[in-house]
Structure 1
Amino acid sequence: MISTVVWGTGNVGRAAIRAVEAHPALKLSAVLVHDPGKVGRDAGELAGLDRRLGVVATDDSDAVLASGQRAVVYAASGDIRPDDALADIVRAIRAGAVVVTPALYALYDQSGAPPEMRDPVLAAITDGRGSLFVSGVDPGWGNDVLPLLISGLGTTVDVIRCQEIFDYSTYEQEDSVRYLVGMGQPMDYEPPMLLPTVPTMVWGGQIRLMARALGAELDEIRETVDRRPLDATVSTRTMGAFTAGTQGAVRFEVQGIVEGEPRIVIEHVTRIHPACAPDWPTPPNGDGAHRVIIEGRPRIEVTVEAVDEGENRSAGGNATAVGRLVGAIDWLVDAEPGLYDALDIPLRPAVGRLGRKQP
């Protein structure tokens, strides 16, 4: 069994605890938290399970890493603390651990990552003989392996479009929804996530990754952003009220330009209520979905819906993204130490998990 740490217990960390507990090759050995109120609580409780797992949360990362853990699922956010997240991950790799994480956007396409991100990781791999695989929670598989797989079914391919379409009222991360994305803010507010070059910083690596796999040469990466106000005040279960006239929906694209045309596109359509921007793409169920569209011959469209934590589809997206990361751990343990991306890690069947009782 591969001793595995889950570092962070938010939206991603909860799903990671459940995924590690369910995986036949992994053993949950420690849970790291930042909130003092979570220290001493059982991992099963923190993950929303109906039973205790016998692993108590701690905030002592030095002690956990010094205990020789074989793998770390780094689930702490890197959105507003990228330098701290990189430092934590480098420490874990230097301690000899295989690390999987969604926190370092620049390493989605590790071969094209800036030296200030890549060099510390490579140095830690040399020193500690650990490994790193980074894949997104938007989810990564929806912006790399799935569209690439589907593209191979066509005769000709004109455009690859990857969509995330979600109602953010189900997303239990209020600071990100209100301040990073700008939901509920005045229309003259400038959301950090939508500032020029930021979408490319976050999703450009996945555009470059797909272009590399397709043998396509990118001219450039472009961005488009559209925002809509709420016509009426709405109330949400998780975050309270969002006032009429404030931002209620966002639609943006990160476009990989090939021979002057957008050919590889990652598009996000997010709302705080279904009534806002009803003319934009909507998910089949009204809550959320991920969609890949291959424009070409034939035209291929695949929509994926995932549900977790009751009927929560945003949690389902997190869970599938985490499944991709956690499912890579045993492969990484057997591989040579290194810095890996989605083109390196095979998407494998759920070996040993068919019919297993849910954690």
Structure 2
Amino acid sequence: MIPTVVWGTGNVGRAAIRAVHAHPALKLSAVIVHNPAKVGRDAGELADAGSELGVAATDDIDSVLAAGPRAVVYAASGDVRPDEALADIARALRAGAVVVTPALYPLYDQRNAPPEFRDPMVEAIAEGGGALFVSGVDPGWGNDVLPLLVSGLGTTVDAIRCQEIFDYSTYEQEESVRYLIGMGQPMDYQAPMLIETVPTMVWGGQVRLMARALGVELDEIRETLERRPLDETVTTRTMGTFEKGTQGAIRFEVQGVVDGEPRIVIEHVTRIHASCAPDWPVPPTGDGAHRVVIEGRPRIEVSVEATDEGENRSAGGNATAVGRLVGAIDWLVEAGPGLYDALDVPLRPAVGRLGRK
């Protein structure tokens, strides 16, 4: 079995612990935490796994990496700390580990990543013999392997649209929801995630990845953005109150333009309450969904809804993103050292996991 470390125990880390424990080729060897209150607690408790797993969380990163883990699921956030995430992942690669993570957006399309992100990873892999696969938590498969797979069912393809549609009132990342994307902030608040060019920095790599797979050249990548205020004050279960008149919904697109037309589009429709912007796209049921639309002949539409941690579809999206990453670990171990992307790493059946708890 492959000794595997989970680094971080937030929304992604909790799902990662459960996924590693359930995978027949992997063995949970350590859990790294930053919060002193979590040190010493059992991984099963931290992950809501339903039972203890016999692995106590630690903040001793040096000792964990010195033990030579074969794989690391890096689940700590890179949203507001990209430099720290880059340094952490480089440490794990220099220790010889296979690393899977959603934390470094620029490496979704690793071949065209900025040198300041790609070069340190290549150097760390050369030094330690590790491997790295980065895939999104929004989730990555919804913006690469799924649309590409479905596109192959069409006779003609005019455009590909990938949508994430979510009500984040059940989400448990208040800092990201309130300050990174600006929910509950005044309408003149400049949310970091919505600054011009930032959506392209985050999702442009996936647009380029799909263009590469489809064999088309992009003229450019464009962005669109719409925002709506809350019509009424709302109270959420996990993050408290969001006042009337503050930002309640956002809708943006990252568009890959081919021959002057947006042909490859990643769209996000995000609300803090279902009552805001009801005329925008909504999920078929519940709090959220991921949707792929292939415009052409025939027109094909696929919606995916996932639930985890109760009825929380936001957590379900995290869990499927984690499933993609954790499910790649044993393939990456066999593939050997290198920097990989979604076109390299196959999405495989859940061999050995049917009926496994």
Specify if TM > 0.5: yes
Aligned residue for 1:342? 342
**Counterpart code for 1:271:** R
Aligned residue for 1:54? 54
List gaps (5 residues or longer) in structure 1: none
1:315 aligns with 2:315: yes
List gaps (5 residues or longer) in structure 2: none
1:293 aligns with 2:297: no
Q: Matches of 1:336 and 1:235 in 2, distance apart?
A: 49
**Counterpart code for 2:12:** V
How many equivalent residue pairs?
357
Q: Matches of 1:240 and 1:294 in 2, distance apart?
A: 38
Aligned residue for 1:66? 66
Per the TM alignment, residue 223 of structure 1 is displaced from its structure 2 partner at its CA by 0.4
Per the TM alignment, residue 124 of structure 1 is displaced from its structure 2 partner at its CA by 0.8
Counterpart secondary structure, 2:172? coil
Aligned residue for 2:130? 130
Q: Please list the CA deviations of residues 52-90 of structure 1 after superposition, one character each: whole Å capped at 9, or x if unmatched.
A: 101000001111000010000000000000000000000
Aligned residue for 1:177? 177
Aligned residue for 1:107? 107
Q: Matches of 1:346 and 1:199 in 2, distance apart?
A: 26
Q: Matches of 1:290 and 1:45 in 2, distance apart?
A: 29
Q: Please list the CA deviations of residues 78-126 of structure 1 after superposition, one character each: whole Å capped at 9, or x if unmatched.
A: 0000000000000000100000000000000000001111111001111
On the 8 A contact 2:286/2:313 being kept in 1, the answer is no
On the 8 A contact 2:186/2:246 being kept in 1, the answer is yes
Per the TM alignment, residue 336 of structure 1 is displaced from its structure 2 partner at its CA by 2.1
On the 8 A contact 1:23/1:353 being kept in 2, the answer is yes
Aligned residue for 1:266? 266
Counterpart secondary structure, 1:251? strand
Q: Matches of 2:49 and 2:70 in 1, distance apart?
A: 24
On the 8 A contact 2:41/2:56 being kept in 1, the answer is yes
After TM superposition, the runs of 4+ consecutive aligned structure 1 residues lying more than 2 A away are: none
**Counterpart code for 1:249:** A
The alignment's TM-score, normalised by the length of structure 2, stands at 1.00
Aligned residue for 2:152? 152
The percent identity for this pair of structures is 83
Counterpart secondary structure, 1:208? helix
On the 8 A contact 1:308/1:316 being kept in 2, the answer is yes
Counterpart secondary structure, 1:72? strand
On the 8 A contact 1:274/1:286 being kept in 2, the answer is no
Alignment of 1:25-36 (within 5 A): 25-36=25-36
**Counterpart code for 1:284:** P
Aligned residue for 2:247? 247
Q: Please list the CA deviations of residues 240-275 of structure 1 after superposition, one character each: whole Å capped at 9, or x if unmatched.
A: 111000000000000000000000000000001111
**Counterpart code for 2:348:** R
Aligned residue for 1:164? 164
Per the TM alignment, residue 284 of structure 1 is displaced from its structure 2 partner at its CA by 1.1
